[in-house]
Amino acid sequence: MVDDQTEIEQKPRRPWYRRVAIWATAVAAGLLVWFVLWTIHVYRYELPSIEEVYNIEPPLKTRIYAADGTLLQEYFNQNRTLTPFAEIPPHMVRMLMAVEDQDFYDHWGINPRRIVVVAINNLLKMKIEGGASTITQQVARMLFLNREQTLTRKFKEALTAIKLERTYSKNEILETYLNLYYFHRAYGIAAAASVFFNKKPSELTVSDCAILLGMLRGPTINSPFNNPDKSLQARNRVLYAYYKFGGLSRDQYEALEAKPLTVNPQPEDIGGAPYFTEYVRQYIENTYGADKLYNGGLKVYTTLDWTLQQSAEEAMTRHLDSLQRLIESRYDADDPNYTFVVAKDGQQVRRYKQIEGAAIAIDNKTGDILAMVGGHDFDKTQFNRATQAPRQPGSAFKPFVYTAAMDNGWTPDSILYDNSIVINIPGAPEWRPHNFDDEYMGRMTLREGLKLSRNMIAIKLLLKIHPELAVFYAQQMGITSPLRPVPSLAIGTSEVFLNEITSAYTVFPNGGIRVKPRFVLKIVDRYGNVLEDNAAVQKEEVLAEQTAYVMVSLLQSVLEPGGTGAGARARGFTRPAGGKTGTSDNFTDTWFIGFTPQITAGVWMGFDDRTSIGYNMTGAVNALPVWVRIMLTAHRDLPVEDFAAPSGIVTADVCAETGLLATIHCPTVVHEVFTQATAPTDSCRVHTRGGPYPAHRNRDALPDTSSGSIRF
């Protein structure tokens, strides 16, 4: 009989090791799938894009050049200049491979054999260390990654290297590596060759290359500047590796190893024309941005005449130093007007203030800034007094008043009276202007008034034509600073900048044409693309050609004997020229601005805080000598030119008393220049048989001959 309960047959269980194997396979398959998916994700989304790989742009320094190609200054975050592979010494390339990646030309971005060796070494040491990275992987790290020692970073580095190898040739990768690497104080082989040896990359010797490559494992520690002994040891290790690689014979290696460490550092300085290049730097940063300036590898070609610039700097420094010694001899060291307090060794001591100066030279025809000096010492102060310091021009402003008058019917022989007046200004105290010498000379022509820089003549002339008219002409000619239309404008009480008033003066020798100043000729990017080309000269007619010529004639008088600028001739400047001195109230600002047919230059001197330079320290005393030095150099290789009279200009001998055409009986005859519209046509009838003294032909020009009060 069969029991109701039957025995249940059970299947035999798999051995445990088979179950483990199945689970291990499943986990491994899962990990593999995860790894593949993660790798795809990293490759697509966390690595640099194809565009980034194709468009590698390492930071490059911007270079500023003078007109003759002289390198003036460099601006950079990383001191780097790209060097093409063809200009890299072959021994540098082979030595790099010997030290960093001997199988470089045989792998595809990563070296599996080295990876296995390093991985086993890391397992034995129980920590992650480098050593397996190929040159391509190092390029990937320098371009797109960081130096953290993690498996994730190493993996990304390897994948990025594969991308690079698919995009660039082997030589291009080597070129990129040597242009990217940081060699202590220098990025890339070109900068390193210059900084350490004052050479071009193509001039590097085997020993030079070994010194540089010795810094690969420690740019700071193995720098010959920081640790010469360690640098020597590192160099010799590189030479040995190169010898083992087959780059040197045994004898060559031993000879090089025995040589002492030799470097030839590039001299460090702030560059040439520091105030000018800082002016250019600010323009580039404002126009293209800081990143383009410091990383874009721009080449900036400027208008600067390097020879003239050096002469201007030397002349300015020499004169300021001489003037400084004079001031320190005149005033005590405890005079609060000329000294200031500084802390030294826990004590308060006084130092003399530094007298400052600025100068600028401009090519009349092109507007090119040929030289610019912004102060005594750029190291101590970067404030550019040629472009950033608004100062009172004093009598240097008078030519704009005379220009407005000449363009509106007045002539050089028009008569005004140099005498005292009182000007009543509503809501303000009465103003009693005076001449520099506090004396009055009575009746005189406008030519004499400008030549002798008589304040009263300029003020009366301004009141006759009205201040608003003078403001209009000054602005037309290039003055952009605010000008107050008040009587004192005639003697330069409204502040202007040296560069703008010097540029405005170029209108006179340019025949009424204003040329926009330029200081940058061309800007080229790292690829040779022209970002800016200022070859075209920007011109605008702002003044009648005949009026400009009359003003040139008037300003030439200033340099004649008896004129305030006659010192220019005494100092040896004999070319046809015109100009004007300027001295503000209390001898605070001193100027001289002058021109030839080719070049206009302006010079200013004074204290930054507007302290008086001292009694009788005028523009003729301070600024004129520097102007002469600058102009002598500027014209050294230029032909002598005179100012050409345009059509519509008439010259005539006139009676000094009547302003009419002179006769043989006139006691004083002057040869004067006029426009056709203002030239006299009648002969003097006074100096024939005698008679009453007639009115001057410019009747509207005649003021009261006596002192008086004028309401403004």
For 470-482, letters b (16+ CB in 10 Å) and e give bbebbbbbbbeee
Of 207, 223, 231, 395, which residue is the catalytic one?
Answer: 395
652: β partners: 672
The DSSP secondary-structure symbol of 42 reads: I
Tokens of 16: 């445990």
Residue 540's SS3 state is strand
Strands 599-606 and 589-595, bridge-based pairing: antiparallel
Coil, helix or strand at residue 268: coil
E strand or H helix that includes residue 602: strand 599-606
Tokens 């200022």 map to which residue? 534
* DSSP H or E run through 16: helix 16-41
Active site (annotated) includes residue 395: yes
Could you tell me where the DSSP H helices lie in 485-599?
498-505, 545-557, 567-570
Tokens of 320: 């300021």
d(CA 653, CA 680): 10
Q: What is the DSSP letter of 496?
A: B
Q: Which of 315, 280, 305 is nearest to 368 (CA)?
A: 305
> Beta strand pairing status for 415-418 and 442-445?
antiparallel
Those residues whose C-beta lies under 8 Å from the C-beta of residue 674, and which sit 6 or more positions away, are 411, 412, 550, 649, 650, 651, 652, 680
Catalytic residue among 100, 172, 314, 541: 100
Please provide residue 577's backbone torsions phi and psi, each rounded to the nearest 5 degrees. -160, 160
The string of DSSP letters for 130-176 reads: -----HHHHHHHHHH------HHHHHHHHHHHHHHHHHS-HHHHHHH
In whole angstroms, what is the distance from residue 101 CA to residue 103 CA?
A: 6
Place of tokens 């445990």: 16
How many beta carbons lie within 10 A of that of residue 75, not counting itself? 22
In 3D space, the residue among 299, 229, 700 whose CA is nearest the CA of residue 529 turns out to be: 299
Three-state SS letters, 344-406: ECCEEEEEECCCEEEEEEEECCCCEEEEEECCCCCCCCCCCCCCCCCECCHHHHHHHHHHHHH
Place of tokens 């035999």: 12
What three-state secondary structure class fits 700? helix
What is the DSSP secondary structure assignment for residue 75, as one 8-state letter?
E
* Residue 573, both tokens: 């400047």
Buried b / exposed e over 172-208, threshold 16 CB at 10 Å, is ebbbbbbbbbbbbbbbbbbbbbbbbbebebeebebbb
Cα angle for residues 682, 684, 687 (degrees, 5° grid): 165
Are 463 and 712 spatial neighbours (Cβ–Cβ below 8 Å)? Answer: yes
Whole-angstrom distance, CA of residue 451 vs CA of residue 559: 8
Q: Do 297 and 61 contact (CB within 8 A), yes or no? A: yes
148 catalytically annotated: no
Q: Is 309 exposed, middle or buried (0-12, 13-18, 19+ CB in 10 A)?
A: buried
Token pair, residue 691, equals: 């008679």
Type and span of the H or E element at 65: strand 62-65
Catalytic residues: 100, 395
